[in-house]
Amino acid sequence: MDPVLHLTTSTTSVVLDVRWGLPLIVHWGARVDDAEARRMVDEVSPRPRAGVVDRPALATVVPMHGDGWLGHPGLLGRHRGGSDWAPRFQTADVKVNAVGDGSSHATVTSADAHARLQLVTDISLSVHGVMCVAVRVHNDSPMKYLLDELTVTLPLPSTATQLTTFHGKWCEEFQSQTFEWPFGAWTAENRTGRTSHEQPPFIVAHESMMGAHDGHCWAAHIAWSGNHVIRAERQVYNRRYLQLGELLNPGEVCLEPGESYSTPTVIAVHSSNGLQHIARTFQRHARDIVGTLSPRPITLNTWEAMYFDHSPSKVLALADVAALVGVERFVLDDGWFKGRRDDSAGLGDWYVDTTVYPDGLAPIAQAVVDKGMQFGLWFEPEMVNPDSDLYREHPEWVLERTGYEHVLGRRQLVLDLTRADARSYVYSRIDSLLSELPVTYVKWDMNRPHIAAAGRSGTAATHRQTQALYALLDDVRRTHPTVEIESCSSGGGRMDLEILHRVERFWASDTNDPVRRQVIQHHASWFFPPEVLGCHIGAPVAHTTKREASLSMRCATAFFGHMGVEWNIVDTTSTEREDLERAVAAHKALRHVLHNGEVLFTDALRATGGHRLVHGVTSHDMAAAVLAFVQFDDYSTDTIVRLQGLDPRRTYTARRVMLAHDDPVVENEEAWLRSLSQSGHAWATVGAHFPTLPAESTVLVVLEGS
């Protein structure tokens, strides 16, 4: 058996050594030739150290304690009675397949004849340079196998001295921190039952000099919408590895004889040229997942316009103004269904509330369509209020341990979708409404975490609930293939590349505060393209933070994404409506660039300590670009902005995009715009000065190349 597996594209190589029972990633980075790949594998050997085992185990994709691995094992489990808890695998089979588009794929089967277990590792490398890894454990024994953990391990070189990790909370998603990779293990565990605000499943290891365009970095994502764990360990002798997988609650996965469990896919990208390449590669992969999208409709969502205060006249008045300012999709949010006058009741009773809408929603929906807009509807299918007909009829449908007092979150409980009867009920109600009404869009919300989530047998059930969610979404998509779905979970609580197989949009945060949104959207764009990130123009005073912001700042922030409105525009002034119409028109004129191009990153945020941000998008042919210069506070020190990713041979002419009457004044604007009118080569080497701007303001600029 040839020990060398070499997956390669024009820019990237993954070199694996299959001699160690499980595949060992020897190199994951810049492209090497076959001779260099073989040399790398030939040089692999365990290096015994004083005081440890004579042949230390290596950081294979699933390192095993039974082989002498003294870090965290990749597989934790045992057969009934506690046996076979430290198995040892031998390579049994290797298959390599080239894919027509330039991608490649390998499957390595490893077996432990004594424990009667199999591990099957699937590794692929896409034409874009995206590495995907998943592992499946199969129980070949006649006994049950209790699985505690199965993760994917990615070894990294000692030059990866820094970590950038992500954290957050409601209305403050995708916050980042960068720190030196310490000795020992850094661990993030998500137990919320969703992708989570607190520990989003992304990590970047990198060199200390890493920036927007410089330095090697290795980014990894666990594509899963339930619980997960991420570890980054630095061992003695400076060995480093990342470990990602599903976090399983006690007893959650028990494999009967002949059964298997597969890890979620770990999606990983290497860059030799800083973060911009990481973001562009992840975004290309996300676009491959979501497929070709129509131009993203300007979307008005009714939540912050009316909350639970619904009436047909209010909805129709809002729709009238929405159509006038250029809105293309009108979404009726929470409050339309039976008994739903606040958040304490009604979840689960997915019937139109005829006390609010005596004629149902059909006249409302048709009126929206007649005004030239699509009609969308809000659901929270995974939840139930104790104060609901559904709960009174089926209290046993709650995903929670029996015999204990309920643990409420937002005055609601999780509905047990692992039950076929509960899932069938939810599907039937969604299917009925989507069939009866001209609905082309569903906002799918999920507003509370799992607490002691258990199925009818009493065993932990978040794993099966996540699979059941996927199955329910798949059923809805199969029956209603033209209906688009938004993943919302109290904002950005469920944003990952697995749920993206089933949705076209993420609601990135429940806050429309543009200052907070700028940072949230910037960090989210490391992994997701702008067209799947919902970004709305909110009210003058943000509902969530009470910050007052200019209309210009709010419009400019929503500009870079799937643009929308979440504001009672019935009560706006004529000037505000004119400005809103202008901003919407400007976005429509540029969304062919914004939603199909390549992101442009700069080092402004890091260089200014978080005081300024410059970001943008360039068209694929680099003929045009849209840039945002964002000033967060009164920071005034001169900042040089450099862009890589423009055509070095083109000369670009800069023009400002005016959005509203309160657009910020730029000192010496004409001279500043002339300084931006330079070649792509000059942008990359000389750069341009950040303008003098007031705090909490943004200037948009279009570069047009010739």
Please say if 42 is a catalytic residue: no
Quick one: tokens of 106? 């390998």
Q: How far, CA to CA in Å, does 522 sit from each of 62, 408, 614?
A: 33, 33, 10
Architecture of domain 599-705: Sandwich (2.60)
**Strand bridging mode 329-332 / 374-379:** parallel
Instruction: Tell whether the model's pLDDT for residue 536 goes beyond 90.
Output: yes
Outline where 387-457 has alpha helix (H): 389-393, 420-436
CA nearest to 75, candidates 67, 83, 55, 65: 65
Is the domain defined by 58-290 classed in CATH 3.30.365.10? no
Residue 102 has pLDDT above 70, yes or no: yes
Asked if 517 contacts 488 with a C-beta cutoff of 8 angstroms, the reply is no
- Considering 445, 579, 603, 663, which one is annotated as catalytic? 445
Confidence band of 250 (pLDDT split at 50, 70, 90): very high
* Annotated active-site residue in 349, 416, 510, 663: 510
- Please state, in angstroms and rounded to a whole number, the distance separating the CA atoms of residues 71 and 235: 8
Q: What is the pLDDT of residues 255-268, one digit of tens each?
A: 999 999 999 999 99
Which pLDDT belongs to residue 51? 65
Q: 134-149: per-residue pLDDT in tens? A: 999 999 999 999 999 9
Strands (DSSP E) found in 31-170: 75-79, 90-98, 104-112, 117-125, 130-139, 145-156, 162-169
pLDDT in tens, 414-459: 999 999 999 999 999 999 999 999 999 999 999 999 999 999 999 9
Which residue ranges make up each domain of the chain? 58-290, 299-592, 599-705
**Is 445 an active-site residue?**
yes
The residue to which tokens 């990153």 are assigned: 601
632-635 long-range Cβ contacts below 8 angstroms, 24+ apart: 632/515, 632/518, 632/695, 632/696, 633/695, 633/696, 634/694, 634/695, 635/608, 635/611
Please tell me the pTM assigned to this model. 0.97
Kindly report the average pLDDT of the chain as a whole number: 96
**CATH classification number, 299-592, choose in 3.20.20.70, 3.30.420.40, 3.30.70.20, 1.10.3720.10:** 3.20.20.70
* 367-407 tens-digit pLDDT: 999 999 999 999 999 999 999 999 999 999 999 987 899 99
**Two tokens at 510?**
């429940």
Average pLDDT rounded to a whole number, residues 312-340 = 98
Pairing of strands 439-444, 533-537: unpaired
Question: Taking 80 as the threshold, does the pLDDT of residue 316 lie above it?
Answer: yes
pLDDT top residue among 49 and 158: 158
* Per-residue pLDDT reduced to its tens digit, 69-89: 999 999 999 998 899 999 999
One-letter amino acid for residue 497 of the chain? L
Give how far the C-alpha of residue 558 lies from the chain's centroid of Cα atoms, to the nearest Å: 18
Q: At what angle do helices 574-594 and 312-325 cross, to 10 degrees?
A: 60
- Give the per-residue pLDDT at 49: 66
Q: Give pLDDT tens digits for 621-661.
A: 999 999 999 999 999 999 999 999 999 999 999 999 999 99
The single-letter code of the amino acid at 333 is D
